[in-house]
Amino acid sequence: MDKRKPTFSEALTPLTAMLLLLGIGYGKFGLPIQALLIVAAFIAALVALRLGYTWDDMIGGISERISSSLGSLFVMVCVGGMIASWMVSGTIPLLIYYGIKIIDPHYLYVTAFFVTAIISTFTGTSFGSAGTAGVAIMGVAIALGLPIDITAGAVLSGAVFGDKLSPLSDTTILAPIAAGTTLYKHIRHMVYTTGAASICCIIVYTLLGMNISVETVAQPEQVATMLGTLESLYNLSPVLLIPPILVFVGAYSKKPTIPMLLLSSVVAIVLGICLQGFTLKVALNAFVKGFNVSMLPTVAAGAQSTKVINTLLNRGGLMGMMGTVLLVFCAFAFAGIFSKIGCIEVILGKVKDSITSVGNLVAATVGSTLFMSIVTGSSYLAILIPGEMFQPLFKKFHLAPENLSRTLEDAGTCAVPIVPWSVAGTYMAATLGVPTLSYLPWAVLCYGSMIFALFFGYTGLFIKKE
């Protein structure tokens, strides 16, 4: 049977099925998202068979999607191991300890935004920012009794800030290539939407912090108890800052990510053995299976932990990321088949035909990039494919290419972390310990950038002509 191109209704069928399955099954009834994605992939496979595609063709599409994201998946797994090793060394407990002592609860959200924004800008990675400072800030929020969903949203917003504006970021480098402009023209033009969204973040997080009630915050005696417990469990020393310094220096100097994460983990394990009294076997078990407070030598010697401390510290490990990797694989089963049979081209082609103004062009670019983020779960594909498709239209309307590159990042880089089955969304949920849909309303920068992209598109503000 000869292969043919899907009609518009055939292209929409798998997408509609996936959205209904996830919206009703996951959103309303809380069914496992992995199973729902497999059902959506099965529906996409039925459409593929109708179009003349074989099972080998479909497997090829799935394999292409998985192989394109293997680097990010390896980073994700390594970060899981690194978090556990930093628990072994006492690095994260040290950061939590001083965070509790230094940060005013009323300014925690805005502090979370600023700290992760600075780190992600200097390192160019939202993963690294959320997996290091982000984890420590989440620990401070738990210790102080503050809502972790708002804190996670602030951490994510700051992490995405640097991922958008840092010249070291993959997506910041990729967007101008896809749009046909230069890196620094792209960054300068992106300051308008990202800057406006960041001002909104500062206002929102400050107001939320100012409205924290006294009853919400942990009482001074509770805080003192937590600090005392951390002191009894760990030997807290400034030397424990070496592992994160290694990661930040490696990222800033553009060293390969995975070797630097593993090097940081090795140093942290050595520190855990030397300063905290772990045996090599216990430290490596924590690295692989995840850290648990019961592993601490001080606990074995009689030191007492608390439920809050256990919540703070019991996390990480290579195995801890396996559920996240499985979710990504299930998402790629759908995305691989859906893209292989040409559904993406048909739907985006239909969108292109309806563009009659600059505002509609920007809106179509945002919508198409969002569509790619939801379907593929990949920020790279969400930037590359719409970039190639809309570049001629931006030229037709005599717009500078940095308008396109900015819009691609406003929607692509910002949308993927709030898609529950994307690589970034699953990573953030697993690392911060908050479901994607819970932190989504508080990820102000993510949807704020898209709103300002649309606003500038329809008003003509900060739209640069050729």
405 and 366 Cβ atoms separated by less than 8 Å: no
Instruction: Give the mean model confidence (pLDDT) for residues 262-285.
Output: 96
pLDDT band at 218 (very low <50, low <70, confident <90, very high): low
Using the predicted structure, report yes or no on whether residue 214 has a pLDDT greater than 70. Answer: no
Using the predicted structure, report yes or no on whether residue 93 has a pLDDT greater than 70. Answer: yes
Closest CA to 1 of 57, 73, 54: 54
pTM: 0.87
Chain mean position to CA 104: 26
Element of type H or E holding 403: helix 401-408
Q: What's the pLDDT score for residue 73? A: 87
User: How does pLDDT run across 334-343, given as a tens digit for each residue?
Assistant: 999 998 999 9
Closest CA to 251 of 119, 360, 375: 119
Give the whole-angstrom CA distance, residue 99 versus residue 140: 6
Output the CA torsion sign for 238, 244, 246, 251.
negative
337 and 44 Cβ atoms separated by less than 8 Å: yes
Cα-Cα-Cα-Cα torsion 223, 229, 231, 232, nearest 10 degrees, comes to: 160
User: How does pLDDT run across 312-322, given as a tens digit for each residue?
Assistant: 899 899 999 99
Instruction: Give the mean model confidence (pLDDT) for residues 295-315.
Output: 88
Element of type H or E holding 267: helix 257-275
Using the predicted structure, report yes or no on whether residue 151 has a pLDDT greater than 90. Answer: yes
361 and 393 Cβ atoms separated by less than 8 Å: yes
Q: How deeply is 382 buried, as exposed, middle or buried, from its count of CB atoms within 10 A (0-12, 13-18, 19+)? A: buried
Using the predicted structure, report yes or no on whether residue 379 has a pLDDT greater than 70. Answer: yes
Using the predicted structure, report yes or no on whether residue 209 has a pLDDT greater than 90. Answer: yes
Q: How distant, in Å, are the alpha carbons of 47, 63, 75, 186, 261 from that of 318? A: 37, 23, 11, 37, 12
User: How does pLDDT run across 17-57, given as a tens digit for each residue?
Assistant: 988 998 898 878 888 989 999 999 999 999 999 999 999 99
Give the whole-angstrom CA distance, residue 383 versus residue 294: 45
Percent of the chain with pLDDT over 90: 65
The chain-wide mean pLDDT, for the chain, equals 91
73 and 328 Cβ atoms separated by less than 8 Å: yes
